[in-house]
Chain A
Amino acid sequence: MDMPAEQLPTALVVDLDTGFVELVREYENLVYSVARRLSRRAEDAEDLAADTFLRAFRALSGYDAARIHQLRLRPWLLTILRNTARNAARDAGRRPDPPPSFEPVEEPATGPSVEELVVAGQTGREWDALLRRLPERQRLAVLLRHVEGLPTAEVAQVLGCPEGTAKSHISRGLQTLRALLTTTPTAEETVR
């Protein structure tokens, strides 16, 4: 049933709509996963992922066969995701603050230790809070390279920079994360 990723451009050229079904099947987990880390709420992540695919479809419907064959679909989609997220953030900045997205949970007197965070596999909000403290490029670079496992060449394409620059965004992002983790974070620091 699944189509190898390298056959996707051909499928899109032959029939855009059925090719796009394959494209979404291939990349929906990746696009949603990155969107989830860029969004505070799961609903926002779903909006962002759906919006990304719709924009991609609209772009593809204006492209000729040669252009579709030249696309590197994965970084191309993630570039659209990045731009969509930035537009959404800019639009949200123009509106008054939304209501809180979840009820604040009861905070322990001290936050989780580095060991707890790392070893107990704390996955959601604590890591997001840490990642959110990175500059946008470093955060995206770390997400793409170390959460999603993309090669640095594709990270560079999404960031729109040379590969060497992408590498330094990744390593500086990791450095900052490690530094944040060596000081036991307080609850105040880890939430929001």
Chain B
Amino acid sequence: MTSDDRDPVLSALGGLATVAPAGLGERVFAGWLRAPSRLGEVYVAFTGDGVQFVRPAAAVHDDPTAFAAAYRRRFARPLRSADRAPAGLLPALRGRPAGTLRLDLGALTEFERGVLAATRRIPAGETRPYAWVAREAGRPRAVRAAAGVLARNPVPLLVPCHRVVRADGRVGDYMFGPEQKEQLLRGEHAELDLLAGYARRGVHFLGSDSTGIVCYPTCHNARRISAAHRREFRTVAGAVAAGYRPCHTCRPVSA
């Protein structure tokens, strides 16, 4: 059976072959590029839905092949180099978050997405304890699980997991080492020494006796309290018992 140009059926069948639409590659591949960031040079992978994966070049031996292998283990998808960064990525990597930046967290569970969404809301220069993240993600008792999710954060910097710290005043672990975490926090003017000083004295919350509101010490509302009106609390419950209401901005929760 060979194809025969004089056979109208065969030549009609031959005419049915078609070509792939231009967008097919985008459905198959995620794009990658290398960009400067607050963690030094990073590799970034993204799909049409948003950024999926960020790793410092140093963490993958400065080797795009090692980055692709790490990405593949996690996302089971091929990468190809991209020449354009998604909207908002480059400023966000340098510490200027843009509303246009989209993240593709579709490969994660609902709890993981909840943890990352809560963490993403922590403003620069502020910190929250792990218990806060767990509560915000809807599972107040899953504090260790929330810490585990942050330790595997696919998009560090873009979801600022470095702003989640221990309740005892220490910065705690970070996927790229505690020194990096401290450096990032100091770079955005988080008052780590003050926070540690409070924690040593068992103080985890600050209230204003003029507004009657209690906050985390790094909340911008707490930072405006003058020394004369500042009241110190060990627990939120203690503050509530003293007639204070938890801040609607930082939504404090006892560890």
Contact between A16 and B72, CB atoms less than 8 A apart: yes
Interface residues of B in 57-80 (CB under 8 A from A): 65, 68, 72, 76-80
Residue in contact with B3 in the complex, picked from A15, A16, A37, A146, CB distance below 8 Å: A146
Q: Known contacts A32-B20, A123-B15; decide if A16 and B9 are in contact (CB<8 Å).
A: no
Contact between B20 and A121, CB atoms less than 8 A apart: no
Say yes or no: is B109 at the interface (Cβ < 8 Å to chain A): no
Contact between B16 and A32, CB atoms less than 8 A apart: no
Residue in contact with A117 in the complex, picked from B12, B24, B72, CB distance below 8 Å: B12
Contact between B12 and A118, CB atoms less than 8 A apart: yes
Contact between A21 and B18, CB atoms less than 8 A apart: no
Interface residues of B in 1-15 (CB under 8 A from A): 1, 3, 8-10, 12-15
* Chain A residue, CB-CB nearest to B73: A61
Say yes or no: is B99 at the interface (Cβ < 8 Å to chain A): no
Interface size counted on chain B using CB atoms at 8 A: 29
* Chain A residue, CB-CB nearest to B16: A147
Say yes or no: is B21 at the interface (Cβ < 8 Å to chain A): yes
A residues near B17, Cβ cutoff 8 Å:
29, 33, 147-149
Assembled-state Cα–Cα distance A31/B28 (Å): 13
A residues near B21, Cβ cutoff 8 Å:
32, 42, 46
Assembled-state Cα–Cα distance A167/B1 (Å): 8
A residues near B244, Cβ cutoff 8 Å:
none
Assembled-state Cα–Cα distance A40/B9 (Å): 21
Q: Known contacts A15-B65, A148-B17; decide if A20 and B3 are in contact (CB<8 Å).
A: no
A49 to chain B, nearest CB (A): 6
Residue in contact with A32 in the complex, picked from B1, B3, B18, B76, CB distance below 8 Å: B18
Say yes or no: is B106 at the interface (Cβ < 8 Å to chain A): no
Say yes or no: is B29 at the interface (Cβ < 8 Å to chain A): yes
Instruction: Known A-B contacts: A57-B77, A61-B72. Give 4 more (CB < 8 A).
Output: A16-B72, A29-B17, A29-B19, A149-B17
Residues of A within 8 A of B (CB): 15-18, 20-21, 24, 28-29, 31-33, 36-37, 42, 46-47, 49-50, 53-54, 57-58, 61, 117-119, 121-123, 127, 142, 145-149, 152, 167, 170-171, 174, 177-178, 181
* A-B pairs with beta carbons under 8 Å apart, 15 shown: A16-B68, A17-B65, A24-B28, A24-B29, A31-B20, A32-B19, A33-B19, A42-B21, A46-B24, A57-B28, A117-B12, A119-B8, A123-B16, A147-B17, A177-B9
